[in-house]
């Protein structure tokens, strides 16, 4: 027995996939951007939220405000969380067992 997704479910699946991809790409790109500017990043700070704290501290040491980068990660994380909740509510929980 096959299960077909509706148009709305496809939109939610695509939203969820792109929001997770955006979050992963942001973390990867931000890590390499910080490294290219000479910021030392300890191993545990490589997890979500750690790089942003190091970035904010680095910017304050330069006498600047942290800027948009610290806010963008939280926007991306909230977007991914909402997409995951919708994905579970409207796609994954409605699929028949074994599909």
Chunked mean pLDDT (size 10), the chain, 99 residues: 82 95 92 93 81 90 86 90 93 72
**Cα–Cα distance measured from residue 61 to residue 70, given in angstroms and rounded to the nearest whole number:** 15
Q: How far apart are CA 80 and CA 58, in angstroms?
A: 27
pTM over 0.85: no
Structure tokens at 61: 């040491």
pLDDT of residue 2: 67
Q: At what angle do helices 68-90 and 7-36 cross, to 10 degrees?
A: 150
Could you say which DSSP state residue 56 is in?
H
Give the per-residue pLDDT at 35.
93
- Distance between CA atoms of residues 5 and 31, nearest Å: 37
What are the extents of the domains in the chain? 16-94
């Amino acid at each position: 027995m096959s299960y077909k997704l509706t148009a709305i479910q496809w939109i939610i699946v695509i939203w969820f996939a792109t929001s997770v991809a955006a979050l992963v790409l942001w973390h990867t790109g931000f890590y390499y951007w910080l490294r290219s500017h000479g910021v030392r990043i300890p191993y545990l700070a490589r997890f979500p939220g750690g790089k942003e704290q190091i970035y904010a501290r680095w910017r304050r040491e330069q006498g600047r405000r942290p800027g948009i980068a610290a806010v963008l990660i939280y926007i991306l994380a909230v977007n991914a969380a909402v997409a995951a909740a919708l994905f579970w509510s409207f796609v994954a929980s409605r699929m028949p067992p074994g599909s």
